[in-house]
Amino acid sequence: MTSEAQEFEMRVEALTKRFGDLEAVKGISFEVPRGEIFGFLGPNGAGKSTTIKMLCTLLKPSGGRALVAGYDIVDEASQVRRNIGLVAEKIILYDRLTAEENLYFYGRMNHLPEAEIKARSAFWLDRMGMTQWKDKLAGTFSTGMKQRVNIARALLTSPRIMFLDEPTLGLDPQTTRAIRQFIKELAEQGVTVILTTHQMVEAEMLCDRISIMDHGSIVALDTEANLKNLISDGKGAVLDLALEGLTDGMRQDLGALRGVMGLAEPEAGRLRITTNRPGVLSEVMRLVEGAGGTISSVNTLEANLEDVFLHLTGNEMRVEFAQSAPSGHRRGAAGRTSRVR
Amino acid sequence: MRKIHAFFMDALHVGNKDLKDFYRDRARIVAFLIMPIFMMLLTGFIFPSQSSLKDLPVGVVNLDGGPVAQQMLVVFSELKSGKSKVMKLQNLADEDAAKELIQEQRISGALLFPEGLSDSLASKQQGQVVIITDQSNPQISSMLTGMLEQTLANMGTQMSAQAIDDMAGGQISQDTITALVTPIQVQTRGLIPGNPNYFQFVAPGVMAMVTVMAVMMGLAGSVAREKEVGTLDGLLVAPIARGSIVMGKTFAQTVRGLTQGAMVLVLAMVFFGVRVYGSWPLLIIMLILGIFSFVGMGILISAMASEQETAMTIMMTLNFPMFFLSGAFFPVQQMPGFMQAISKVVPLTYVVEGLRQVMVLGAGIGQVWRSVAVLLAFGAVTLAIAIPAFNRVVTR
Ligand SMILES: Nc1ncnc2c1ncn2[C@@H]1O[C@H](COP(=O)(O)OP(=O)(O)O)[C@@H](O)[C@H]1O
Ligand SMILES: [Mg+2]
C-alpha cells in the first residue's frame, strides 16, 4: 500500500472499457477520499454502471488501473471484494429464500462466522425497518422492500466502500426518502459511498462531489455549487419561456445575444435559456416579439445541474432521460423533482 | 488445507441454497416428479412387448373346409400369451375381404387356407398356408407372424413325425423319429435367468437419459437464471473461488438428477418387472460417472448463453439427437454405419452401455472399465475447457 492509497479510499487512472467497437468508458481518472459520497450523474448509456462493475471486479478493464481500498482491482481482486458492498442495478436477492435466509447465505459466502451473521442481519434488518418481514420469502416483497433487504445484504460485511448503482430507481417516494437519508448516515459513519444516478435531485441532495458523465467520459467533476458556478459565476439564471412562433432565425439571434450560454427546447412551445447576465430577459422578450413570436409566460429559475450538463455537452439531458424516467418527471422552480410511480 | 476446506464449504452452501431454491418452487417440483413417471410409462407403453399380443383380431379365410384347416384353427384360437388369448379369430369370405379389413385397420392380419389343403396333405403332397400381414404396423406384424410361423412349423414337425411313424409301421423308435424330423435342437441360453423383456433393455437407457438431462439442464438453467436475475453478481463479488460456485451448483443438480434416476428405476422395477442383476454400487458409480461426463458441457452452455431461454434451446437441440444416437431406445447395432460412428463419440452411449451391462448382464468393473475410462476422459476434457471459459465469461 502506498501512502497515496491510504489518503484516498479509491484512486482511478485512465480506466477504460471497450465492448467490441464500443468504448463504453473512455479513460476516466479520479480520486475519492474516505467518507465521501461520490456521485456519477449522467444519462442512460453514459457508462456509469460499467464503471461501477469494473471497480467491483465484475468486469475486467480494457485499460488503465484502479485501486479500491488500496488494492488493485485486477491483481488483488479478492482483497477488493473483502472491502466492498454492492447494490447493483439488479436486486441481488433470491426470491425463494426469506429475507433472513438471503442475508445468511450472503454472510456465508463472505466467510462471516454464524453468530456474527445472526447479529448483524438482525441489526441491519431492524435498521432498514424489515424485521417483521424477515421470515417472508423475498419474492413476495414489493420493489421497495426488496431494496431495503438488498441494502442490508450489502452492508452485512461492514464494507469500507459501498457501491450503489441507481439505488432509488423505480421505488416509491417513501422508500426513496428513507434510502437517501440512510446513505447520508452511512457516510457520516466513515463509509465511502460511490453512487450513480440519472436524477439531478439525488445527486444534488446526496453527493459531496458529482462527476458528470456523458458518452463514457467525465465532463466535469466538482461540488454541486462549483458545478453551477461553471455556467453562471453565481450571477446567472435560467429563463423558462412558454412561447409560440419560434423560428430558426430567432434561435440563431437568441443564441448570439451577449450573456446567453445555451438554448434548449424540452418540449414544443417551451424554451430554456441559460444566462449569466441579469439584464438579458428584456432583450430576449424584445427580440422574440420583434420577430413575430408571442411569449405567454416567463419563469426565472436558478441554474440546476441539468443546465450545467447542457452547457458542458450541448445535449439536453432530459430528452435522453425520457426513455427511462416515468412521465411526470419534471423540475419545478424550487428544483425539486416529484416522481409518480 | 484451509483453502480446500473453505472451497468445499462454499460449494456446499451454494449447493444447499440451490436445492432450497428448487424445492420451494412448486411448479418445478411437480414437473420434477412427473417427468420420470411420464418417461417410463411412455416408453413402456409405446414399445410393444409380448403382452401387446393380446386378443388381436385376425381374419380367417378358410377355402379348404377339410380337417387340417379345422385342426389348425383350434390350435390358433387356443394360443396364449400369459393368461390371455393371443388372437380373436374372425371368419371371412375371401382374400379381398381380408385385405379390405386390414386397410380399414380392423384386423391385425389374416390367415388364408387355400382350397384343397387337407387333400394335398392327405395325398402326401406339400400344403400351403398364407399369412397376410399388416405392413403399416411392422412391430406387431412381425411378432404375430413369428408366432404363427412358429406354431405352423411345430404342427408341420408333428405331421412329419406322424408320417414317418406310419411309413415305418412302428419299426423306428420315437427318439429316432424326433432326431430325423428335427436333427438339430437349438438351445438359447442367456446370462441371466428367464427371458428379459423390452423394459429390461430400455430402463437403463431411460434412467441414464433422465439423470443426465436433469443435471445438464438444471446446471445450465440455474447459472443462466442467476445471470438473468442478477444474483450471480452477488456470488461473484464475494471473496470465494469461482470454482466453488460451479462445484456447488453441480452438487445440487447431481442430487436432483440421481433422485430422478432412482425414481425411474423404482418405477421400472415395481411396474415393469425390471431387475438389477449386477452390483448396486457399480450402478450408482456408472450413473455418477455419466453425470460427471456431462457437467463440463452444462457449464460450457451456461457460460455461452446469457439468458435461460437460450440455454434451454441449445440444450434441447443437443439432447434430442443424442438420446437417439446413444442407444437408449434402440440398439446401436440397428443403426446405419455412419450413425453408429457418431454414437461412438456421444458420451451418453457409454453411460447407457455401462448401465445396461451392469443391470442386465450383471457385469462387474472388469467388464465396464472401457466405458468408465471414456466417461472419465470425456468429463475431464470438457471440464478443462469449461471452467476457464466460465471464469472468462463471468468477468469479461
Ligand atoms: N456487457 C456489455 N456488452 C456490450 N455493451 C455493453 C455492455 N454493458 C454495457 N454496454 C454498453 O455500454 C454503454 C454504457 O452502458 P452502462 O454502463 O450500462 O450505462 P449507464 O449505467 O450509464 O446507463 C452502453 O452503450 C451500453 O449499451
Ligand atoms: Mg446503469
Minimum mean pLDDT range among A93-102, A145-154, B167-176: B167-176
At A332 the pLDDT is 32
Same domain, A213 and A236: no
A126 and A272 fall within a common domain: no
**Mutating which of A22, A25, A81, A105 best tests the B interface, going by the most B Cβ atoms within 10 A?**
A105
Structural domain that includes position A263: 232-302
Residue A49 Cα, ligand 1 centroid: separation in angstroms?
7
Question: Could A57 and B395 be called an inter-chain contact, meaning their C-beta atoms sit closer than 8 Å?
Answer: yes
Using alpha carbons only, what angle is made at residue A85 by residues A223 and A106, rounded to the nearest 5 degrees? 160
Residue A180 sits in the same domain as residue A145: yes
CB nearest to A96's CB, from B25, B234, B395: B25
Q: How many CA atoms lie within 13 A of A122 on its CB side?
A: 5
Q: Identify whether A78 is part of a domain.
A: yes
A299, three cell numbers? 419563469
Inspect the interface and report whether the beta carbons of A109 and B13 lie closer than 8 Å. Answer: yes
Domain CATH for A271: 3.30.70.1340
Q: Please state the domain count of chain A.
A: 2
> Domains of chain B (ranges plus CATH)?
2-47+197-394 (no CATH), 51-181 (3.40.190)
Higher local confidence (pLDDT), B333 or A78: A78
Substitution site in A17, A22, A51, A320 for ligand 1 pocket (most atoms within 8 Å of beta carbon): A22
Name which of A331, A156, A313 is nearest A231 in CA terms: A313
DSSP B333: G
Ligand 1 pocket, mutate which of A18, A50, A309, A323 (most atoms under 8 A from CB): A50
Q: If you average pLDDT over every residue of chain A, what do you get?
A: 85
Statement: residue A63 has pLDDT above 70: yes
With an 8 Å Cβ cutoff, are A96 and B238 in contact? no
Q: Is residue A316 part of a domain?
A: no
Across the range A25-32, mean pLDDT stands at 94
Report the C-alpha gap between B80 and B76 in whole angstroms.
9
Average pLDDT for residues A147-174, to the nearest whole number? 94
Q: Residues A79, A112: one domain? A: yes
Identify which ligand lies nearest to the alpha carbon of A215.
1
Q: Tell whether A75 is within 8 A of chain B (Cβ).
A: no
CA–centroid distance, residue A166 to ligand 2 (Å): 7
ipTM value, please give it: 0.80
| Contact A58/B at CB under 8 A | yes
CA A69 to chain centroid? 21
With an 8 Å Cβ cutoff, are B239 and A110 in contact?
yes
| Residue that wins the pLDDT comparison between A336 and A252 | A252
Q: What is the DSSP letter of A326?
A: P
* CA gap A13, A30 in Å, rounded: 7
Residue A71 shares a structural domain with residue A131: yes
Of A60, A78, A101, the CB nearest to B395: A60
Which whole number is the average pLDDT over A302-317? 71
Instruction: Please tell me the distance in Å from A5's CA to the nearest CA on chain B.
Output: 21
The pair phi, psi for residue A249, each rounded to 5°, is -60, -40
Residues of A whose CB is below 8 A from B25: 96
User: Of A196, A226, A256, which residue is a domain's last?
Assistant: A226
C-alpha cell of B317? 437441440
**Rounded Cα–Cα distance for residues B40 and B257 (Å):** 15
| CATH number for the domain that contains residue A78 | 3.40.50.300
Closest CA to B134 of B88, B99, B87: B99
At A145 the pLDDT is: 95
Does A8 share its domain with A61?
yes
User: Which of these, B13, B390, B7, lies nearest to B219 by C-alpha position?
Assistant: B390
Residue A334 included in any domain: no
Q: What is the pLDDT of residue A276?
A: 75
**Shared domain check, A177 and A87:** yes
Region A109-138: what's the mean pLDDT? 95
Q: Which of A182, A210, A226 is the last residue of a domain?
A: A226
> How much distance in Å is there from the Cα of A19 to the middle of ligand 1?
8
Do the chains contact at B13 and A90, CB–CB below 8 Å?
no
Distance A221 CA to ligand 2 centre (A): 19
Residues of A in contact with B392 (CB under 8 A): none
CA of A79 to the centre of ligand 1 (A): 26
Which of B17, B237, B396 minimises the CB distance to A56? B237
Q: Do residues A162 and A85 lie in contact, with contact meaning Cβ atoms separated by under 8 Å? A: yes
Cell digits for B88? 380373436
Candidates A298, A296, A258, A263; CA nearest to A280 is A258
Asked if residue A278 and residue A154 are part of one domain, the reply reads: no
For residue B81, count other CB atoms closer than 10 A to its CB: 18
**Mutation site, A80, A86, A92, interface B, largest B CB count within 10 A:** A92
> Consecutive sets of 10 residues in chain B, 396 residues long: mean pLDDT of each?
88 95 90 85 69 81 88 86 82 90 88 89 86 84 85 87 84 85 80 70 88 88 89 94 92 93 90 85 93 90 81 84 83 83 88 90 85 93 90 78
Please state, in angstroms and rounded to a whole number, the distance separating the CA atoms of residues B171 and B305. 84
pLDDT at A3 over 50: no
Distance in Å, CA A48 to ligand 1 centroid: 8
Other residues' Cβ atoms within 10 Å of the Cβ of residue B395: 15
Name the pTM for this structure. 0.78
Are A249 and A130 contained in the same domain? no
A199 and A253, same domain (yes or no): no
Query: Does position A330 have pLDDT exceeding 80, yes or no?
Result: no
Same domain, A167 and A55: yes
For ligand 1, say whether the CB of A134 is within 6 Å of any of its atoms: no
DSSP SS3 for B280: helix
Report the run of H or E that residue A275 belongs to, with start and end. strand A270-275
Q: A86 CB near a chain B CB, below 8 Å?
A: yes
Contacts of A98 (CB under 8 A, 6+ apart): A134, A135, A136, A137, A138
A197 and A137 share one domain: yes
Single-letter amino acid, residue B42:
L
- The DSSP output letter for B230 is S
Three cell numbers, residue A320: 435522453
Which of A41-45, A57-61, A332-336, B164-168 has the highest average model confidence (pLDDT)?
A: A57-61
Q: Say if A317 falls within a structural domain.
A: no
In chain A, whose CA is at the least distance from the CA of B395? A59
Report which of residues A152 and B278 the model is more confident about.
Answer: A152
3-state secondary structure labels for all residues of B90-114: EECCCHHHHHHHHHCCCCCEEEEEC
- DSSP track, A209-268: EEEEEETTEEEEEE-HHHHHHHHHTTT-EEEEEEEE---HHHHHHHHHSTTEEEEE-SST
